Chains A and B, each alone.
Chain A
Amino acid sequence: MISTAIDVLTAEGGGMPPLVEPGAAGSLALPLVLVIALPALGAAVLLLGGRRTDAWGHLLGTATVVGSFVCSLWLFLGILGRPEDERQITQSLWTWFSAGEWTVDLGLLYDPLSALFLLLITGVGALIHVYSIGYMEHDVRRRRFFAYLNLFVAAMLVLVLSSDYVGVFLGWEGVGLASYLLIGFWQHKPSAAAAAKKAFVINRVGDIGLSLGVGLIFFTFHTTSFDEVSALTSEASAGVMTAIGLLLLLAACGKSAQFPLQSWLLDAMEGPTPVSALIHAATMVTAGVYLIVRSQFVFEYTDAARTAVAVIGTITLLMGAWIGCAKDDIKKTLAGSTMSQIGYMVLAAGLGVAGYAYAIFHLVAHGAFKANMFLGAGSVMHGTNDDVDMRHYGALQKAMPVTFITFAMGYLAIIGFPGFSGFWSKDRIIETALAENLVLGLCALLGAGVTGFYMTRLMLMTFFGEKRWEDDVHPHESPKVMTIPLIVLAALSVFGGIMIAGDWIKKFLAPVTGEGEAHHLPVSPLVISLVVTVVVAIGVAVAWMLFGRREIPREAPTDVSPFTRAGRHDLYGDAINDVLVVGPSKQLTAGLATFDRAVVDGGAMGTASAIGGLSAVARRVQNGFVRSYALALLGGAALVLLALVAVSFA
Chain B
Amino acid sequence: MSIPVLSVLLLLPILGSVVVALLPARAAATAPKTVALGFSLVTLVLGVGLAVAYEPTGGEQFVEEVEWIGVFGAHYALALDGVGLALVLLTCILTPVVMLASWHDGDEGRWGAKGMFAWILALQGLSLGVFLAVDVFLFYVFFEATLIPVYFLVAGYGGPERVRAAVKFLLWSLAGGLVMLASVVGLYAVSSAAGEPTYLVRELAELDIDTWAGRWMFLGFFIAFAIKAPMFPVHTWLPDTTQQATPGTSVLLVSVLDKVGTFGMIRFCLEIFPEASVWATPVVVVLAIFSILYGALMAIGSSDIMRLIAYTSVSHFGFIVLGIFVMNSQGLSGANLYMFNHGLSTAALFLIGGYLVKRRGSQRIEDFGGVEKVAPVLAGLFLVAGLSSLALPGLSPFVSELLVIVGAFVWSPWAGAVAVLGIVLAAVYVLWLYQRTMTGPVAPGVTGMRDLGVREIGAVAPLFALIVLLGFYPQPLLDVINPAVDDTMSQVGTTDPQPSVTEGEAP
B505 part of interface (Cβ distance < 8 Å): yes
- Also in contact, A212 and B439, with CB within 8 A (given A219-B410, A618-B164): no
A498 part of interface (Cβ distance < 8 Å): no
Q: Is B478 a contact partner of A97 (Cβ separation < 8 A)?
A: yes
Q: Hey, which chain B residues are within 8 Å of A172, CB to CB?
A: 393
CB within 8 Å of B: which residues of A?
A: 94-102, 106, 166, 169-170, 172-174, 177, 180, 184, 187-190, 192-194, 196-197, 200-201, 204-205, 207-208, 211-212, 214-216, 218-222, 231-232, 234-237, 240, 585, 588-590, 592-593, 596, 600-601, 603-605, 608, 614, 617-618, 621-622, 626-627, 630, 633-634, 637, 640, 643-644, 647-648
B473 part of interface (Cβ distance < 8 Å): yes
Q: Is B439 a contact partner of A184 (Cβ separation < 8 A)?
A: yes
Q: Hey, which chain A residues are within 8 Å of B393, CB to CB?
A: 169-170, 172-174
Interface of A (DSSP majority class): helix
User: Which listed residue, A95, A99, A106, A188, touches B439 by the CB 8 Å rule?
Assistant: A188
Bound-state CA distance A204–B297 (Å) is 16
CB distance from A243 to the nearest CB of B (A): 9
Q: Is B148 a contact partner of A634 (Cβ separation < 8 A)?
A: yes
B294 part of interface (Cβ distance < 8 Å): yes
Bound-state CA distance A537–B500 (Å) is 54
Q: Is B333 a contact partner of A592 (Cβ separation < 8 A)?
A: no
Contact with A along B413-453 (1 / 0, CB 8 A): 10011001101100110011011001111100000000000
Q: Hey, which chain A residues are within 8 Å of B503, CB to CB?
A: 231-232
Q: Is B475 a contact partner of A200 (Cβ separation < 8 A)?
A: no
Most buried by A among B235, B302, B423, B499: B499
Closest residue to A620 on the B side, CB-wise? Answer: B167
B458 part of interface (Cβ distance < 8 Å): no
Q: Is A592 a contact partner of B148 (Cβ separation < 8 A)?
A: no
CB distance from A384 to the nearest CB of B (A): 25
Q: Hey, which chain A residues are within 8 Å of B427, CB to CB?
A: 200-201, 204
Q: Is A200 a contact partner of B502 (Cβ separation < 8 A)?
A: no
Interface of B (DSSP majority class): helix
Q: Hey, which chain A residues are within 8 Å of B370, CB to CB?
A: 188
Q: Hey, which chain B residues are within 8 Å of A605, CB to CB?
A: 168, 236
Bound-state CA distance A511–B474 (Å) is 35
B37 part of interface (Cβ distance < 8 Å): no
Q: Hey, which chain A residues are within 8 Å of B416, CB to CB?
A: 212, 215
Q: Is A99 a contact partner of B500 (Cβ separation < 8 A)?
A: no
B20 part of interface (Cβ distance < 8 Å): no
Bound-state CA distance A578–B2 (Å) is 67
Q: Is B167 a contact partner of A621 (Cβ separation < 8 A)?
A: yes
- Also in contact, A187 and B372, with CB within 8 A (given A97-B403, A201-B424, A207-B423): yes
B141 part of interface (Cβ distance < 8 Å): yes
A-B contact pairs, 12 of them (CB 8 A): A100-B496, A102-B329, A188-B442, A197-B435, A212-B409, A232-B503, A596-B236, A617-B167, A618-B168, A621-B167, A630-B147, A630-B148
Q: Is A596 a contact partner of B501 (Cβ separation < 8 A)?
A: no
CB distance from B399 to the nearest CB of A (A): 5
CB distance from A494 to the nearest CB of B (A): 39
B462 part of interface (Cβ distance < 8 Å): no
B402 part of interface (Cβ distance < 8 Å): yes
- Also in contact, A637 and B438, with CB within 8 A (given A211-B405, A221-B499): no
B298 part of interface (Cβ distance < 8 Å): yes
Bound-state CA distance A189–B372 (Å) is 12
User: Which listed residue, B147, B152, B423, touches A211 by the CB 8 Å rule?
Assistant: B423
User: Which listed residue, B298, B406, B501, touches A221 by the CB 8 Å rule?
Assistant: B501
Q: Is B440 a contact partner of A214 (Cβ separation < 8 A)?
A: no
Bound-state CA distance A101–B502 (Å) is 12
Q: Is B297 a contact partner of A589 (Cβ separation < 8 A)?
A: yes
Q: Hey, which chain B residues are within 8 Å of A608, CB to CB?
A: 171, 175
Q: Hey, which chain A residues are within 8 Å of B300, CB to CB?
A: 585, 589
Most buried by B among A101, A204, A221, A647: A204
Q: Hey, which chain A residues are within 8 Å of B500, CB to CB?
A: 219-220, 236-237, 240
Q: Is A640 a contact partner of B141 (Cβ separation < 8 A)?
A: yes
Q: Hey, which chain A residues are within 8 Å of B472, CB to CB?
A: 96, 106
- Also in contact, A637 and B141, with CB within 8 A (given A188-B370, A204-B427, A218-B410): yes
10 A-B pairs closest in CB distance: A100-B329, A215-B409, A589-B301, A193-B439, A99-B333, A601-B236, A222-B499, A187-B439, A170-B393, A204-B427
User: Which listed residue, B68, B147, B473, touches A648 by the CB 8 Å rule?
Assistant: B68
User: Which listed residue, B76, B167, B482, touches A618 by the CB 8 Å rule?
Assistant: B167
CB distance from B8 to the nearest CB of A (A): 15
CB distance from A169 to the nearest CB of B (A): 5
Closest residue to B296 on the A side, CB-wise? Answer: A589
